[in-house]
């Protein structure tokens, strides 16, 4: 049962061969036995899950269930869920029981998908290894001495370990795609504005976007059908007609033009990752796709621009954590300023503090033009590169991450080295494009390798179709770690 995809669970439920209660009990039992070692979940609440499962079974019995009614899902602990502890991986929110649901949570509730629990993550989604979580690092199910990637590390690990058939994630600079790659699952970041950010704790508002994480591209398409949609409570939510993201899954690849950015196939791409990506390209050619070399000449500056823009937005967004309305407050203080400064010093971890401080600096008087505006100009150049590239191709392909999962502690001493884990993913967020990662092989140590696809704006369906056709011809996505 635990290797089942959403699609197959949906069929079993429809045929009456299983129930939501049975599925949830099975997954909760697996979570209970594996979470001690993997630490993928921050909160599990069996009573809540089973109550939702009973309601889902009743809905199906009444004939009003949808395709995914009764199929459980885990949610990243960045999404506010009413009555659930919602920590965002931080001590600052260690006592925050959300009084309301995020739009994404509402959508899954409306679809009748029970919540299996809240997954571990880098604190406030700032990190690429899940090691900045106040609740401890998540272990990679393929090798417990290695990181799962981040920031949606708990979501990626729980899907890889089959503790949940799917999970939600969020991606500001690669936080869905990089952990999906390091854990051997499929994850998608939609076009900016497709999924509402309402109730999703903000990191960098112009870059944050929620998306699905699952075993297959087909499952991601089904989940995106649930998640996407206009929501007036997010001022950047786009008013577009409802789409069926599964509509291109069966489109043959003949005539598809795949762009290969020469900057992403340079000397930085080595070893088993290079070989696996080359083999994936060969496989896609065999399926009828053509490849064309494209240029993203400003992509080498995307990490630099990102580490100005994301911290600047974070320093503003995280100013709300002041110990007044919710969350942690320091026990002893002299006056208001002392209360703010001690609350924030004690409530935030060191990576979050570093980023808030970078943000405060680049936005301060005398540095704003040199840093913040310069980074915004670069952002335009990076987005323009993609527009030019998409005149020559339909999707862009690259590795997702420069390496497979690294050892716990290997990059914690040097923030800059950690930041370079996202060199292939960050430009996509700056441009606001959709991107995804899917498994394309294993390295010599048996660790999964991820392939990144980047689509043009609102071209998720085509991108998912390419991934699905690749997954019909390969079985990398079906491999699971032995646990």
Q: Which is catalytic among the residues 98, 151, 152, 437?
A: 151
- Residue 48 or 342 with smaller CB distance to another protein: 342
CA distance 89 to 79: 11
Euclidean distance between CA atoms 447 and 334, whole angstroms: 52
Q: Taking the complex as a whole, how short is the minimal distance between the CB of residue 11 and another protein, in angstroms? A: 37
Q: At what angle do helices 350-362 and 302-317 cross, to 10 degrees?
A: 100
Rank residues 3 and 338 by Cβ distance to another protein and give the closer one. 338
Contacts 24+ apart (CB under 8 A), 318-323: 318/124, 318/348, 318/352, 318/356, 321/92, 321/93, 321/347, 321/348, 323/347
Least CB distance from residue 318 to another protein, whole Å?
Answer: 9
Of the candidates 83, 73, 165, 75, the residue with the CA atom closest to the CA atom of residue 120: 75
Closest distance between another protein and the C-beta of residue 428, in Å? 10
Set 175, 237, 248, 421: catalytic member: 175
Binding residue count for another protein, defined by CB under 8 A:
72
Contacts of 368 (CB under 8 A, 6+ apart): 362
* Contact string 132-171 vs another protein (x = CB under 8 A): ----------------------------------------
DSSP H stretches of helix in 390-449: 415-419, 426-431
Buried b (16+ CB within 10 A) or exposed e, 444-471: eeebbbbbbbbbbbbbbbbbbbbbbbbb
Closest CA to 447 of 476, 414, 467: 476
Nearer to another protein, 66 or 295 (CB): 295
In terms of CB distance, is 248 or 298 closer to another protein?
298
Q: Residue 192: what are its φ and ψ, rounded to 5°?
A: -55, 130
Q: Site residues for another protein, window 99-138 (CB under 8 A)?
A: 99-100
Residue 476 in contact with another protein, rule: CB under 8 A: no
Q: How far is the CB of 93 from another protein (least distance, A)?
A: 10
Binding flags for another protein, 419-458, as an x/- string (CB under 8 A): x----------xxx--------------------------
Give kind and range of the element (H or E) at residue 295: none
Q: How far is the CB of 250 from another protein (least distance, A)?
A: 30
Q: CB-based burial of residue 33 (10 Å sphere; 0-12 exposed, 13-18 middle, 19+ buried)?
A: exposed
205 flagged as catalytic: no
With CB under 8 A as the contact rule, the residue among 43, 49, 87, 298 that binds another protein is 298
192 binds another protein (CB under 8 A): yes
Best CA proximity match to 227, nearest among 106, 75, 384, 404: 106
Contacts of 395 (CB under 8 A, 6+ apart): 256, 257, 258, 259, 453, 454, 455, 456, 459, 462, 463, 466
Nearer of residues 333 and 442 to another protein, judged by Cβ? 333
Choice between 5 and 172, CB closer to another protein = 172
Print the binding letters for residues 66-85 with another protein: x by CB under 8 A, - otherwise: --------------------
Q: Is 352 within 8 Å of 93 (Cβ atoms)?
A: no
Kindly indicate which of the ranges 49-57, 152-160, 171-179, 374-382 contains the residues binding another protein, using the contact rule CB under 8 A: 374-382
* 8 Å CB contact between 160 and 184: yes
Interface with another protein (CB under 8 A), residue from 334, 391, 444, 475: 334
Q: Which stretch binds another protein (CB under 8 A): 228-236, 252-260, 271-279, 474-482?
A: 228-236
Beta-bridge mates of residue 454: 396, 435
Catalytic residue among 7, 10, 76, 299: 76
Identify whether 151 is a catalytic site residue: yes
Q: Which stretch binds another protein (CB under 8 A): 45-53, 262-270, 272-280, 343-351?
A: 343-351
Q: Which is nearer to another protein, 37 or 95 (CB)?
A: 95
Mark whether 76 is an active-site residue: yes
Residues 376-415 that bind another protein (CB under 8 A): 376-381, 383, 414-415
Q: Interacting stretch for another protein, rule CB under 8 A, among 196-204, 214-222, 342-350, 472-480?
A: 342-350
Q: Which of 150, 173, 179, 323 binds another protein (CB under 8 A)?
A: 323
**Contact flag: residue 247 with another protein (CB under 8 A):** no
Site for another protein in 351-370 (CB under 8 A): 353-354, 356-361, 364, 370
Cβ closest to another protein, residue 77 vs residue 219: 77
Using DSSP, state whether 231 is helix, strand or coil.
coil
Task: Work out the burial of residue 143: count CB atoms within 10 Å of its CB; fewer than 13 is exposed, 13-18 middle, 19 or more buried.
Answer: middle
For residue 336, give the DSSP letter: H
Q: Which is nearer to another protein, 316 or 474 (CB)?
A: 316
Nearer Cβ to another protein (30/197) = 197
Structure tokens, 137:
């690092």
Rounded to a whole number of angstroms, the minimum distance from the CB of residue 38 to another protein is 29
Q: Give min distance, CB of 322 to another protein, in A.
A: 7
Give CA angle at 443 (438, 445), nearest 5°: 130
> Which residue numbers are catalytic?
76, 151, 175
């Amino acid at each position: 049962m635990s290797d089942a995809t959403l699609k197959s669970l949906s069929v079993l439920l429809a045929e009456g061969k299983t129930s939501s209660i049975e599925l949830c009990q099975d997954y909760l039992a697996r979570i209970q036995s594996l979470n001690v070692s993997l630490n993928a979940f921050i909160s599990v609440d069996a009573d809540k899950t089973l109550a939702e499962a009973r309601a889902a079974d009743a809905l199906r019995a009444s004939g009003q269930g949808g395709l995914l009614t009764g199929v459980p899902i885990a949610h990243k602990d960045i999404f506010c869920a009413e009555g659930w502890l919602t920590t965002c991986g931080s001590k600052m929110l260690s006592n925050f029981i959300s009084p309301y649901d995020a739009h994404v949570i509402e959508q899954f509730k409306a679809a009748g998908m029970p919540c299996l629990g809240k997954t571990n993550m880098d604190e406030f989604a700032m990190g690429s290894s899940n090691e900045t979580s106040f609740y401890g690092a998540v272990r990679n199910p393929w090798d417990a001495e290695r990181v799962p990637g981040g920031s949606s590390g708990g979501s990626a690990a729980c899907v890889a370990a089959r503790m949940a058939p799917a999970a939600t994630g969020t991606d500001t600079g690669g936080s869905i795609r990089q952990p999906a790659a390091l854990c051997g699952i499929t994850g998608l970041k939609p076009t900016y504005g497709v999924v509402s950010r309402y109730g999703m704790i903000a990191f960098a508002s112009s870059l944050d976007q929620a998306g699905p994480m699952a075993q297959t591209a087909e499952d991601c398409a089904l989940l995106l059908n649930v998640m996407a949609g206009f929501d007036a409570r997010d001022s950047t939510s786009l008013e577009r007609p409802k789409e069926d993201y599964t509509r291109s899954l069966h489109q043959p690849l003949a005539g598809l033009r795949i762009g290969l950015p020469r900057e992403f196939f340079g000397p930085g791409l080595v070893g088993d990752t290079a070989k696996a990506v080359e083999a994936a390209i060969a496989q896609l050619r065999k399926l009828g796709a053509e490849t064309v070399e494209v240029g993203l000449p400003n992509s080498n500056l995307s990490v630099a621009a990102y580490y100005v823009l994301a911290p600047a937005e974070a320093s503003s967004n995280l100013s709300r954590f002041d110990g007044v309305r919710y969350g942690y407050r320091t026990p002893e203080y002299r006056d208001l300023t002392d209360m703010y400064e001690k609350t924030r010093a004690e409530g935030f971890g060191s990576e979050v503090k570093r980023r808030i401080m970078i943000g405060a600096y680049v936005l301060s008087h005398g540095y704003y033009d040199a840093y913040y505006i310069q980074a915004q100009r670069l952002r335009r150049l990076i987005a323009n590169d993609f527009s030019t590239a998409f005149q020559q191709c339909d999707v862009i392909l690259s590795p997702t991450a420069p390496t497979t999962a690294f050892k716990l502690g290997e990059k914690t001493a040097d923030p800059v080295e950690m930041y370079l884990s996202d060199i292939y993913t960050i430009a996509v967020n700056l441009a606001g494009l959709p991107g995804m990662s899917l498994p394309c092989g294993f390295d010599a140590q048996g660790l999964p390798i991820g392939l990144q696809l980047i689509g043009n704006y609102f071209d998720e369906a085509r991108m998912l179709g390419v991934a699905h056709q690749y997954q019909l011809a390969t079985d990398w996505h079906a491999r699971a770690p032995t646990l």
